[in-house]
Structure 1
Amino acid sequence: MALNAGNVFSAHALSDYMIKSLPTEPAPQLRNPYDAVALLSHSCMLAVGFRLIGLGEGHSIPPASDPEEVQILPKEWNSSLSSDYAFRYAHAQSSLEYLVKVSRLGSKAVINGLGIGDDKVHTLDLLIKDFLSESSFPYSLPSRDSANDRAQSLRGLFISAGRLTDAGSLLKLQIIQKLAPGLHKEGYEDSAHAASQQADARQQGDPRMPGPDNPRGERAPHDPLRDDRLPPAAQPRPFNDPLAADPRRPFPAGDFPPPGFDDEYDIMRPPGGPGIGGGRRPMNIGERDLYPPGLGPHDPLRGGGFGPGGGGGMHPTFDDPLFGGRGGGGGMDPR
């Protein structure tokens, strides 16, 4: 029966592939931890649909009669005295052949993979003591146990079932997904390919695509603590920003300030500002008489002191703020 159900990189699934790949002879089947890493690498390739076609580039294996069944490794698969291993694969979803080599380098097992013709090598190194119990080797298959019992005994070669799963996940991320991105297999998810597709969709303007901060792909509400832009419906009309600079006021007709004129005393400010009586300051009676006719910003000939709407001259009328504006527009007639 094909091992397609569930997560194909779980400890149980990988140990089943490992047990079914091991030849029963010669014993011991696994001489050292490097044999176990090579067998695990082969099982990870089988888990996503790769088919073994040879031990290295110059070796060939006849195809199995049933492609759904796990093919047993040739007896010489681990015959190298230097703990070097080579596997060549094909896949139904690709026209390339793939080569995976495992070698010993000090206390590490170094795994290299490439697509033949692509010439891009992908590498993963595993520190043996972090994953395997070295005291459990050499390992021989139990002769009378069932397949499940054998798989359980093989899982005991690793520090824990979690460590076996971790090693499989590293092989998936660093070797398989880089060798053949976008593979489709039940129980297998190419996380790198899926993340790339989601990033492309978000760049194209779909905010509902799932991501690290939005696993369900829901449209996030506006967060004023993260986004300082007000939504269009929330902006007042007209928009009034109290921190923004005041707009420049046009100069009154007939007044020509010199270049670079700074109005720090509000000489050019139009009437209507804050204070007692609005823009008219009743305590400053006579201030307009300081300006010669035709020169000041508030020309006394154009208002103030001599007619309605005045104020600030030496001759206040009853509509001046000094009287509360109750005069009804009376006053002197400049004519």
Structure 2
Amino acid sequence: MDFGFTEEDEAFRAEARAWLAAHARDVPDRRTWERSLGQAGWIGLGWSESGYGNRTATLTQQVAWAEEYARSPAPPRSGHIGENLLAPTLIAHGTGEQKARFLPPVAAGEELWCQGYSEPDAGSDLAGIRTTAVRDPDGTYRVTGRKIWTSLAHEADWCFVLARTEPGSRRHRGLSFLLVPMDQPGRIEVRPIRQATGTSDFNEVCFDGARARGEHVVGGEGDGWRVAMSLLGFERGVSTLAQQIGFAQELADVVRTAVRTGAAGDPVVRDRLVRQWAELRAMRWNALRTLGGSGDPGAPSVAKLLWAGWHQRLGELAMLVRGAAASAGPADWSPSAPYELDAHQHLFLFSRADTIYGGSDQIQSTIIAERVLGLPREPKGAV
């Protein structure tokens, strides 16, 4: 696929850049910002065939929007999970009633979503989940169990939950994909998880008989694994290229710091900086190839392995070029008052989790080995 940008694409990019420049600097809060994006038609650019999106945009225009957003001072998106994960899943697997109920509020920025996949004993290995959903005679489900590392659950209105609906089922069988409202006091408890960075974007979510309507099962009861895997494929879409814009900005900052501190004079450091730049270019080409329809079933796993390790190495390099100052707080720090991490410290600490969340490196390597290369499956119970 020729992934060049046409004159129409560049006009679209210019419109996006101008709108972001006019609106992104004065954002009262992230929920209000989502509504502003919806009102201006910037949510759901890739939904044109569904009839529930806003603007009609080609794939290259979606890339242009994502890249301009990443370059702008706009805040991180609270609506990313609803727009880029739930919506494509509903378009592919949802009923007409489900699309009509849930897509318009996402496109308007009115309803925010979180993802109920990982559990304390089932992180990257989703087939081991224990959360159950029992169907009552009236057709509703009672959801009981715990989900963990649930991004933005403290802000979300809804959660899509992978739960076991067939008693006694194991692994991939007997799972269903349910849409669960979060506003259920006494039945859903959200517990923020404090990270090494000092923030709490992740949460543990406890379901104690939380209710989900029967008509809110996507893909039908027992077909949750297929729907869940389809959703994970959408996770590595256009947003990957926007992510790389942020990576490039972080790398440029590390290079500037290396020059300022004199670390760039070390040939080993220079070699590592050049390698980071070259690998980032390779990641972009791989992402463009994937969006262009390479048809490679292992492409999402390859992309995850590439960027996770790259970003983690960048965090380590950020500490290296700073020297001893990387471990110190600000000049006015005192033991009685905590201080905020600077950008390099935050990069280093947050990136430690890159090779775990979103599917650990071990899981991604196994997917490539078994599903792409056709290697023998790892024996059960192997260490």
Structure 2 length-normalised TM: 0.18
Q: Which structure would you say has the larger Rg?
A: 1
Structure 1 length-normalised TM: 0.20
Which of the two has greater helix per residue?
2
Higher RCO (C-alpha 8 Å, min separation 6): 2
